[in-house]
Every structure is written in C-alpha cells, then in structure tokens.
Amino acid sequence: MLYLARGSTQSKGKTAMQVIYCDEAGYTGNKLFDAGQPYFTYASVATTNDEARVVLQEAIARFRLQMPEIKGAKLVKSNRGKDAALFILSQFYQQSLMSEAVSAMSALPHFW
C-alpha cells in the first residue's frame, strides 16, 4: 500500500490532513501476460486517518471480521466478507460524492 499526503479538510471546525491510500490487486510481477491472472486493478481513496479508522472499526465490529489486515482476497471468500467489502466501499463512495458536490458548488459563480 502506498500513502500520499493530499492537503487538508475541514471537519467540525478542525483541519485534518487527508491521506491518499493506494493499493493494487492482481499483480503478477514480471509476468504481465499471465493467463492465470488476467486482471490488474489499482485503486485509491483520499480520507483522513481518523475517518479510515472509524470505517474499518465499524466494519470489523458489524461483520465480525477477525483478520490482522483487511484483505480483499480474503473478504470475497465468504458472503459476510463480501458484505463487509461493500460496506467499506459504500462509506468512501458516499464521501466521494459529497466531496465532488462541494467542489462543484464552490466552482460555480456566486450571483448573490
């Protein structure tokens, strides 16, 4: 996983540094055309450490996850794990929609 600093956000009057968490799935090293691994995915999410911690703690409690590190390959092996993965993704998806809406609103000219 790669961590990149992204600036800050305002939440409840406090400024918090956002981190961009990046991770990959399906990397087979130098075997780029490995038929046994036809997909490669790279994804990221920008959030604060506190927001990430809250989402992961809630997922661990709600879905009774018992792994030292949340891994997608392990989550997709059970229905409960799949539900946990969807929960985690939905939390950050909702945040991204809110962030995009705020960005779009601030880009509009002010007529008042």
pLDDT for 28 equals 74
Distances in whole angstroms, Cα of residue 25 to Cα of each of 37, 44, 73 = 10, 12, 9
The amino acid at 40: F
pLDDT for 96 equals 61
Task: To the nearest 10°, report the CA torsion of 60, 66, 67, 70.
Answer: -20
Which positions ≥6 away from 74 have C-beta within 8 Å?
67, 81
Whole-model pTM: value is 0.64
Distance of CA 34 to the CA centre of its chain: 27
Q: Are 83 and 59 in contact (CB under 8 A)?
A: no
Task: State which residues of the chain have pLDDT below 70.
Answer: 1-15, 94-112
